[in-house]
Structure 1
Amino acid sequence: MFGDLMGMMGKLKETQAKVEATKKRLDTVLIDQASSDGLLKITLTANREIKSIEVDNSLLNDKEQLEDYLIINLNKAIEKASKVNETELAAVAKEGMPNIPGMDQLFK
């Protein structure tokens, strides 16, 4: 009994280390999002940290339009990054879980 418990604890620590390593790796995965007309480009990491925003000069003349572009494209970029982040972390977490009937349903 204690052997199984110690084995599980070791596996959980190993999984935790893999999750942390995956989080660090996701800092290097870049997500690009551009407006359909190319006037605004946003790059962020899969951990949802903004790395760059490029704004075409034509958008600088219309504050409201620029704000709309930023909101729309930042939300799209964050959604893409969140999907990558969640998929990667779920895969690592699922890999490290003990084989308990019904637990696999939590990661679908």
Structure 2
Amino acid sequence: MDFSCNESTESVGKIEWFLKEIGHQSGAILASGRSYHYYGAGLLDEMGWLEFLGKCLLSGLVDERYIGHRLLDHCGILRLSACPLRPKIPTVVSILK
């Protein structure tokens, strides 16, 4: 998931709380350079994925355009590397267990 929060300790805490509230107890939160990405430790079936996207949309913490693109593409992708437009390699800032 692509969160649309400024990079701060407070934002990480909000994301951790939100993910645990919706039942995502394991995964990693990465700082992407402008915000945060969440990578869950488990796979979701189609219904679980749609429910996750819906809960994220209602949270006010995510990039709504990212979710729109994921729905149109029928898949979720986030970069783990640097590129010319995004020179910062995402780094792990929190592990949910």
Q: By the TM > 0.5 criterion, same fold?
A: no
TM-score of the superposition, structure 2-length normalised? 0.30
Higher RCO structure, 1 or 2 (CA under 8 Å, sep 6+): 2
Name which one, 1 or 2, has greater alpha-carbon Rg. 1
TM-score by length of 1: 0.28
Give the number of the structure whose residues are more often helix, by fraction. 1
